[in-house]
Amino acid sequence: MIPNKYFSLIIALFGLLYCSPNSNAQQPDWITHINYSIGKLTLITALDCLDSANCVFVRRYGFGFSDTIYRTTDGGLQWNPIPNQSNPNFPYSRYHSVAYPSSNLMLACGDSGLVLRSSDGGQSWESKRVVPKELRLEKIVMPTPQHGIIWVTYVYPQYIIATSDSGQTWDSVKAPVPPIPLPMGIADVSCPAPNVFYCLLQNDTAITLARSDNGGTTWTYYSQLPPKPAIIYFTNSMNGWMLSFPKVPNSYGARDVISRTTDGGATWETSLDTILGSRLGLSNISFADSLNGLVTGSDKIYRTSDGGKTWGVEFVDSSEIYRIWVSYKPNSKGIAVGAGGRVLRYVGQSSSADAQHAEHSSFHLAPNPITAGVVPILSYQLPEPAFIGISLVSVTGREIILQQAAEQDAGLHQLQLQTDGLPSGLYFIRITNNQRSRILPIHVL
């Protein structure tokens, strides 16, 4: 087995040496730039934003012994290390998660049971061991500047610790233990509001969602979940999303599956199930409000503006093999970061959550994937008159106009797509709606 301290460097080297950017990748709404001052061999292990301009992430460099917290104050154009993070008690601490819940408060957590905290916007830091040094603090979630939780690993049963005083003190929460004979570990956590906790539990044979509405005093368990869930995210006690990547039959790849609940996790409905890009699955999710959210994979970004009912893909880039982190806050455009100092900034015309909500046209393609002899139909509902243009784009960038941009009336519209003669593979339907681009993946078998 490869030692943990070497793993991040190996992954970074693999991505930089064997994955070259595809200059023809379709990037209608996002731009990518690489800030080499961050470090070409950098892995980014966490990201959180205060607003559209101010964000922080953890940079892991080399053998993982020089983790540094970086900050931007201009929406991701420039990133600079935050000074005074030295820790005399454990100089080689590795941070795994960060939180930026208010203009003054920043927190990070990681190995050796340590929480790093700044209450003056990063000017000074204090380090406190909140659990035994043999344990690891995996993930921090702060729904308010006062309240939050941290997921504790390297122990059974895994558990969470909670704060109600902005991270000055942390208390252990009763570990969720479902009524099944085999032990279960925590796979992910979410905390949408004070004292509302969610834990995704799993072992080799079962997966369960645990929910507490009273700060962990009691737990409710749900086992009817989507296949292979890996990541959970809740915006309040009732509405949440689950990212899954079940294996594709006869392949090493996985499908991208996004599921949605409106009853606190008791039942789930699938809103996206597709295969796109590298087939490495999904990795991160963030919502600006109840309607507008972003989901990332290793080389893709999906967006919703209707609360997760439908998702459109806005970014596909085959140059990335590692996790892309995303943060999306109210009145912002969204920002994402990846390996090698790579930053993705949204530059589409929808510049705020309100603007995205106003443009709520829906597009649906069926069937997808497409088999021989079947004519797919693109259906879309326009709430008001709009200029609509539609084209088919190959992965090499070749574009075929299917419908010239023209004004269309409000109401339901349908377009038959002629795919006869197309080689099998992945294509994209580019839809221009009032000069804003949207892309839907289409698979020809």
Tokens of 70: 């970086």
- Other beta carbons within 10 angstroms of residue 53's beta carbon come to 15
Interval 235-262: pLDDT, tens: 999 999 999 988 877 666 788 899 999 9
Cα–Cα distance for residue pair 437/220, rounded to 1 Å? 42
Query: What phi and psi values does residue 297 have, to the nearest 5 degrees?
Result: -120, -155
* Model confidence at 280: pLDDT above 80: no
Tokens of 101: 């819940």
* Domains located in the chain, CATH noted: 4-359 (2.130.10.10), 364-444 (2.60.40.1930)
Smallest CA-to-CA distance from 162 within 178, 152, 173, 153 is with: 173
Interval 40-58: pLDDT, tens: 667 788 999 998 889 999 8
DSSP tag of 370: B
The answer to whether 63 and 84 are in contact (CB under 8 A) is no
Interval 116-169: pLDDT, tens: 999 998 888 888 899 998 999 999 999 999 999 999 999 988 999 999 999 999
The answer to whether 444 and 355 are in contact (CB under 8 A) is no
* Model confidence at 355: pLDDT above 60: no
Q: What is the DSSP string of 61-74?
A: -TTTT--EEEEESS
Q: What is the pLDDT of residue 389?
A: 86
* Model confidence at 307: pLDDT above 70: yes
Query: What phi and psi values does residue 111 have, to the nearest 5 degrees?
Result: -70, 165
